[in-house]
Amino acid sequence: MAEKSCQKMNANLASVHSLEEDEFVQRMILQENPYNPATWIGGSDCQQDNVWLWSNGKDSAFRNYCENQLQEHGCILSNYRKTTCWVNQDCSLYQAYVCAFTV
């Protein structure tokens, strides 16, 4: 649902390819939504189990999963429980999301 909302604005859920990008997205999330910061970003393995891609179709070697977080089927939440790492959750959960536009 979040990705479709972004696509309606000619965007995709945010993809993160470096620590600097991850920190930027985290700061933006916490600035806009400090009380419930768990927010969808664009990573998932929905196309093929255990093959993680960003919703814009790009791959990245950068990962920031929380310790002991299994990379199970699902989508990626950033800032889950106010942490600075990622967790996998059922993609149908209602959460805030971050869209990214190409400029």
Give residue 83's pLDDT. 77
Q: Which segments within the chain are labelled E, that is strand? A: 12-13, 39-44, 53-54, 75-78, 86-89, 96-97, 99-100
Q: What is the pLDDT of residues 7-33, one digit of tens each?
A: 999 999 999 999 999 999 999 998 988
Q: 71 falls in which pLDDT band (50, 70, 90)?
A: low
- State yes or no: pLDDT of 37 exceeds 70: yes
List the domain boundaries for the chain: 2-100
- State yes or no: pLDDT of 72 exceeds 70: no
**Range 28-42 average pLDDT:** 89
CATH of 2-100, one of 3.10.100.10, 2.60.120.560, 3.30.70.20, 3.40.630.10: 3.10.100.10
Q: What percent of the chain has pLDDT over 70?
A: 95
